[in-house]
Amino acid sequence: MKIGVYICHCGINIADHVDVEAVRCFAENHPHVAIARDYTYLCSDPGQDLIINDIEKYQLNRIVVAACSPTMHEGTFRKTISKPGLNPYFLEIANIREQCSWVHADRARATEKAKDLVLSAIAKAVLLEPLEETEVPVTQSSLVIGGGIAGLQSALDIADSGFKAFLVEKDPSIGGHMAQLNKTYPNMEIVDDLIVQKMRRAEENPNIELLTYAEIVAVDGFVGNFSVTVRKKPRYVDPSKCTNCGECEEICPIRVPNEFNMGLDHRPAIYLPFSQAIPSSYVIDPNTCQYLAKGECGRCIEACPSAAIDFTQEEEERTVEVGSIVVATGFEPFDAGLKPEFGYSRYERVITGLELERLLSPLGPTGGNFPTHWGEPESIVFIQCVGSRDKTVGNEYCSRVCCMYTAKQAGLLKERFPRARITVCYIDIRAFGKGYEEFYEKVQKAGVIYRKGIPSEIYKRGEKLIVKAEDSLLGEVYEEEADLVVLATGLIPSREADKVRDLFKLNRSPDHFFMEAHPKLRPLDTAIEGVYLSGTCQGPKDITDTVTHAHGTASRATIPLFKGKVMIEPITASIDAEICSGCGLCEGVCEYQALKKDDYRGHMTVNAALCKGCGACHSVCPVKAITVKQFKPKQVIVQVEMMA
Amino acid sequence: MAKRTEKRKYHGAPTALVIGGGIAGMQASLDIADKGFRVILVESEPTIGGHMAQLDKTFPTLDCSSCILTPKMVEVGNHPNIELLTYSEVIDIQEKAGGFRTTIRKKPRYIDVKKCNACNLCAEACVQRERIPNEFDMGIGKRSAAYIPFPQAVPQKYVIDPNHCLMLTRGKCGKEPKCQKACGANAIDFTQQEETITVRVGAIVVATGYDQFDSELKPEFGYGRYENVLSGIEFERLCSASGPTQGKIQINGKEPKRVVFVQCVGSRDKTVGNEYCSRVCCMYTAKQAHLVRERIPDAKITVCYMDIRAFGKGYEEFYERVQRENIHFRRGNPSEIYERGLSLVVRGEDTLLGEPYEEEADLVVLATGLVPRKGAGNIGKLLGLSQTPDGFFQEARTEETIATSRAGIFLAGCCQGPKDIPDTVAQASGAASLACVQLAKGRS
CATH number of the domain residue A593 falls in: 3.30.70.20
User: A125: how many CB neighbours lie within 10 A of its CB?
Assistant: 23
Question: Which CATH number fits the domain that encloses residue A412?
Answer: 3.50.50.60
Question: How far off is chain A from B426, nearest CA to CA, in Å?
Answer: 5
Do B386 and B405 touch, CB atoms closer than 8 A?
Answer: yes
Q: Given pLDDT bands bounded at 50, 70 and 90, which one contains residue B241?
A: confident
- Per-residue model confidence as pLDDT tens digits over A342-360: 999 999 999 999 999 999 9
- In this prediction, residues A45-58 reach a mean pLDDT of 91
Q: Does residue B7 fall inside a structural domain?
A: no
Phi, psi of A397 (to 5 degrees): -75, 160
Work out the widest C-alpha separation in chain A, in whole angstroms: 97
Whether residue B171 is found in the same domain as residue B61: no
Q: Which of A243, A166, A233 is nearest to A205 (CA)?
A: A166
Half-sphere exposure of B288 (CA within 13 A, CB side): 32
- In this prediction, residues A405-434 reach a mean pLDDT of 97
Q: Given pLDDT bands bounded at 50, 70 and 90, which one contains residue B1?
A: very low
Distances (CA, A) of A596 to A218, A225, A504, A590, A591: 16, 17, 16, 10, 13
> B369, B389, B423: which is the final residue of a domain?
B369
Who among A398, A473, A522 is closest to B316 (CB)?
A398
Question: Which CATH number fits the domain that encloses residue A13?
Answer: 3.40.1400
pLDDT of residue B439: 94
Q: Which residue of B has its CA nearest to A161?
A: B437
Whether residue B98 is found in the same domain as residue B228: no
Whether residue A186 is found in the same domain as residue A324: yes
Q: Which residues of chain B neighbour A46 with C-beta distances below 8 Å?
A: 115, 117, 185
Q: Does residue B115 fall inside a structural domain?
A: no
Q: Does any CB of chain A come closer than 8 Å to the CB of residue B388? A: yes
Q: Do A435 and B36 touch (CB under 8 A)?
A: no
Who among B74, B277, B434 is closest to A432 (CB)?
B277
pLDDT of B107 > 60? The answer is yes
Q: Does residue B236 fall inside a structural domain?
A: yes
> B369, B385, B409: which is the final residue of a domain?
B369
pLDDT of residue B13: 65
Q: Which residues of chain A neighbour B432 with C-beta distances below 8 Å?
A: 552, 555
Provide the phi-psi class of A620: left if phi over 0, else alpha when psi is between -120 and 50, else beta.
alpha
The amino acid occupying position B26 is M
Distances (CA, A) of A237 to A143, A311, A425: 25, 8, 47
d(CA B402, CA B399): 9
- Per-residue model confidence as pLDDT tens digits over A372-404: 999 999 999 999 999 999 999 999 999 999 999
Whether residue A325 is found in the same domain as residue A179: yes
Whether residue A117 is found in the same domain as residue A27: yes
Which H or E run includes A63?
strand A62-67
Whether residue A362 is found in the same domain as residue A444: yes
Whether residue A488 is found in the same domain as residue A350: yes
Whether residue B245 is found in the same domain as residue B362: yes
Whether residue A171 is found in the same domain as residue A210: yes
- Per-residue model confidence as pLDDT tens digits over B125-149: 999 999 999 999 999 889 999 999 9
Q: Does residue B3 fall inside a structural domain?
A: no
Q: Which residues of chain B neighbour A73 with C-beta distances below 8 Å?
A: 74
Q: Which residues of chain B neighbour A523 with C-beta distances below 8 Å?
A: 422-423, 425-426
Whether residue B343 is found in the same domain as residue B274: yes
Q: Do B436 and A397 touch (CB under 8 A)?
A: no
pLDDT of residue B247: 85
Q: Given pLDDT bands bounded at 50, 70 and 90, which one contains residue B5?
A: confident
Whether residue B354 is found in the same domain as residue B277: yes
List, as ranges, residues 341-370 from B with C-beta within 8 Å of A.
Answer: 351-354
Whether residue A371 is found in the same domain as residue A451: yes
Q: Given pLDDT bands bounded at 50, 70 and 90, which one contains residue B12?
A: low
d(CA A240, CA A235): 12
Whether residue B135 is found in the same domain as residue B252: no
Quote the domain boundaries for residue B411.
Answer: 12-106+194-209+373-443
- Per-residue model confidence as pLDDT tens digits over B79-106: 999 999 999 999 999 998 779 999 999 9
By DSSP bridging, strand A491-493 and strand A331-333 are antiparallel
Whether residue B152 is found in the same domain as residue B54: no
What is the total count of domains within chain A? 5
**How deeply is B252 buried, as exposed, middle or buried, from its count of CB atoms within 10 A (0-12, 13-18, 19+)?**
exposed
Q: Does residue B113 fall inside a structural domain?
A: no
- Per-residue model confidence as pLDDT tens digits over A195-224: 999 999 999 999 999 999 999 999 999 999
- In this prediction, residues A408-427 reach a mean pLDDT of 97
Q: Do B422 and A520 touch (CB under 8 A)?
A: yes
Q: Does residue A536 fall inside a structural domain?
A: yes
d(CA A169, CA A180): 16
Q: Do B437 and A186 touch (CB under 8 A)?
A: no
Q: Which of B152, B207, B219, B190 is nearest to B28 (CA)?
A: B207
Whether residue A475 is found in the same domain as residue A403: yes
Whether residue A553 is found in the same domain as residue A603: no
Whether residue B198 is found in the same domain as residue B74: yes
- In this prediction, residues B225-232 reach a mean pLDDT of 96
Q: Does residue B4 fall inside a structural domain?
A: no
Do A253 and A290 touch, CB atoms closer than 8 A?
Answer: yes
Distances (CA, A) of B282 to A48, A96, A484, B349: 44, 37, 33, 19
pLDDT of B444 > 70? The answer is no
Q: Do A438 and B279 touch (CB under 8 A)?
A: no
Whether residue A19 is found in the same domain as residue A104: yes
Q: Which residue of B has its CA nearest to A541?
A: B312
Helix and strand numbers, DSSP H then E, in chain B: 10, 25
Whether residue A339 is found in the same domain as residue A445: yes
Q: Which residue of A has its CA nearest to B79?
A: A76
Q: Does residue A538 fall inside a structural domain?
A: yes
Which DSSP string corresponds to A329-366?
--EEE--GGG-GGG-BTTBTTEEEHHHHHHHH-TTSTT
Question: Which CATH number fits the domain that encloses residue B253?
Answer: 3.50.50.60
pLDDT of residue B443: 64
Which DSSP string corresponds to B261-305?
EEEEETSSBGGGTB-S--SSHHHHHHHHHHHHHHHSTT-EEEEEE
Whether residue B301 is found in the same domain as residue B354: yes
Question: How far off is chain B from A435, nearest CA to CA, in Å?
Answer: 7
Do B8 and B197 touch, CB atoms closer than 8 A?
Answer: yes
What is the total count of domains within chain B? 3
Mean pLDDT of chain B: 94
By DSSP bridging, strand A225-232 and strand A214-222 are antiparallel
Q: Does residue B112 fall inside a structural domain?
A: no
Q: Which residues of chain B neighbour A539 with C-beta distances below 8 Å?
A: 312-313
pLDDT of A232 > 50? The answer is yes
Quote the domain boundaries for residue A152.
Answer: 141-232+316-330+496-563
Whether residue B166 is found in the same domain as residue B23: no
Whether residue A116 is found in the same domain as residue A216: no
pLDDT of B2 > 50? The answer is no
Q: Do A519 and B313 touch (CB under 8 A)?
A: yes
Half-sphere exposure of A580 (CA within 13 A, CB side): 27
> A458, A492, A526: which is the final residue of a domain?
A492
- Per-residue model confidence as pLDDT tens digits over A171-193: 999 999 999 999 999 999 999 88
Do A406 and A424 touch, CB atoms closer than 8 A?
Answer: yes
Do A302 and A394 touch, CB atoms closer than 8 A?
Answer: no
Q: Does residue A242 fall inside a structural domain?
A: no
pLDDT of A43 > 90? The answer is no
Whether residue B152 is found in the same domain as residue B278: no
- In this prediction, residues A4-15 reach a mean pLDDT of 89
ipTM, two decimals: 0.94
Q: Which of B333, B269, B270 is nearest to B305 (CA)?
A: B333
The amino acid occupying position A156 is L
- Per-residue model confidence as pLDDT tens digits over A527-583: 889 999 999 999 999 999 999 999 999 999 999 999 999 998 899 999 999 999 999
Taking only Cα atoms into account, the Rg of chain A, rounded to an integer number of angstroms, comes to 32
- Per-residue model confidence as pLDDT tens digits over A237-284: 999 999 999 999 999 999 999 999 999 999 999 999 999 999 999 999
Q: Does residue B6 fall inside a structural domain?
A: no
pLDDT of A2 > 90? The answer is yes
Whether residue B94 is found in the same domain as residue B135: no
- In this prediction, residues B361-371 reach a mean pLDDT of 98
d(CA A197, CA A31): 72
